[in-house]
Amino acid sequence: MQRPLSPFMFPIWYRFQITSALSILHRLTGMGLTVGSIALAWWLFAVAAGGELFDATHTFLASPIGVLLLFLWSVAFFFHLCNGIRHFAWDLGRGFEIHTARHSAYGVLASTIVLTALAWLAVWLI
Amino acid sequence: MAKTPALSDATALRDEAVSKRVRQLGSARDGLGEWKLQRKTALALIPLSLYFVISMVRLATSDQVTAVQWLSSPVPALLTILFVLAVFTHALVGVRSILLDYVHTRARLMSAQLLAHGVTILLSGMSVIAVVKIFIGR
């Protein structure tokens, strides 16, 4: 018998729910941030090395692709941070009611947008 | 006499060691330790990652302070080292839980975990040495 495998139930076996969407987004943003952590190590290495390596790294980060990557990492970071705090509330046994879990999900999305906007407004306006 | 079904290698969880160690609601391996490590590093990362991101915004908006100058002070250097170590530990626990979910054969799982461990040690070591070098070379 071909049973559905849990990671791949989303589009076929389950209807869309904000809670399950955020659950998989938490994992996806975690994976994105893991890739970002490689860039973090590279950046620290480049700062320590200085010279041409740092210049090349800085030029790449300031390029459109670099800024796009930094923007995506900032979205992933603020989402993972906010949803991680939501997970802490669950670890403490709070917020398990369906309507609370839905409300906190929208709260996480709203906080992500606000924090990302604040961070980039600070970069562009200051 | 009932024939014992052969242990399949199709899923890594069908490992002889698992059934020996499971006790009631306990985990098969070192799940609780990892669960706690994930929470501890997550808790540490709330202030540490916010500190790092705010520092990055400040560096990006400042004409005077360079990254080298920033990491030449003891507190930023120490907080950055702690941030890096917490990030890589947290990432490794996360990557391992993803591998456990998606990599089903034992050989592939073991090699993937070994690779993840190796890359984590390499990158965190490289980062810490980099920060220490900047701090000493100020």
Asked, for residue B18, whether it belongs to a domain, the answer is no
| Chain-chain contact of B53 with A88 (C-beta, under 8 angstroms) | no
Closest to B67 in 3D by CA, of A53, A8, A114, A18: A53
**Domains annotated on chain A, with CATH:** 18-125 (1.20.1300.10)
Class of residue B87 by CB neighbours under 10 A (exposed 0-12, middle 13-18, buried 19+): buried
Contact B130 A122 (CB under 8 A): no
Q: Which has the higher per-residue pLDDT, A100 or A16? A: A100
Does pLDDT of B1 surpass 50?
Answer: no
B26, part of any domain: no
Contact state of A48 with B131 under an 8 Å Cβ cutoff: yes
Q: Is B87 close to A37, i.e. CB distance below 8 A?
A: yes
Question: Which CATH number fits the domain that encloses residue B74?
Answer: 1.20.1300.10
Residue B46 touches chain A, beta carbons under 8 Å = yes
Residues of A in contact with B80 (CB under 8 A): 44
Q: Is residue B48 part of a domain?
A: yes
Interface contact flag, A44 B80, Cβ < 8 Å: yes
Give me the pLDDT at residue B7, please: 47
Of the candidates B44, B126, B46, the residue with the CA atom closest to the CA atom of residue A39: B126
Query: For residue B93, is pLDDT > 70?
Result: yes
Residue B23 belongs to some domain of the structure: no
B2 assigned to some structural domain = no
State the nearest Cα–Cα gap between B119 and chain A, in angstroms.
9
| CA gap B118, B105 in Å, rounded | 20
Q: Into how many domains does chain B fold?
A: 1
Range of the domain at B39: 31-136
* Interchain pair A7, B102: CB under 8 A: yes
Distance from CA of A88 to the nearest CA of B (A): 8
> How many CB pairs (< 8 A) connect A and B?
72
pLDDT band at B28, cuts 50/70/90?
low
Q: What angle do CA A7, A12, A17 make, to 5 degrees?
A: 75
Of the partner residues A45, A122, A123, the one whose CB lies closest to the CB of residue B126? A45
Nearest to B83 by CA among B130, B132, B44, B118: B44
Contacts of B49 in chain A (CB under 8 A): 77, 81
Alpha-helical segments (H) within A7-125: 10-13, 18-49, 51-62, 64-91, 98-125
Can you give the three-state secondary structure of B30-76, one letter per residue?
CHHHHHHHHHHHHHHHHHHHHHHHHHHHHHHHCCCCCHHHHHCCHHH
Q: What's the rounded Cα separation, in Å, for the pair A50 and A52?
A: 7
Identify the sign of the CA torsion A108, A114, A116, A122: negative
With respect to residue B120, please indicate whether it lies within any of the assigned structural domains. Answer: yes
pLDDT of residue B138: 66
**Cβ atoms B116, B92 nearer than 8 A:** yes
- Whether A37 sits inside 8 A of B49 (CB atoms) is no
Lowest mean pLDDT among A31-35, A91-95, B77-81, B134-138: B134-138
B104-114 tens-digit pLDDT: 888 999 999 99
- Quote the ipTM score: 0.90
* Mean pLDDT value across chain A: 92
In b/e form, how buried is each residue of A22-47, taking b as 16+ CB within 10 angstroms? Answer: beebbeebbebbbebbebbbbbbbbb
Amino acid identity, position B71: L
| Prediction pTM value | 0.86
What digits encode the pLDDT tens for the residues B63-75? 778 899 999 999 9
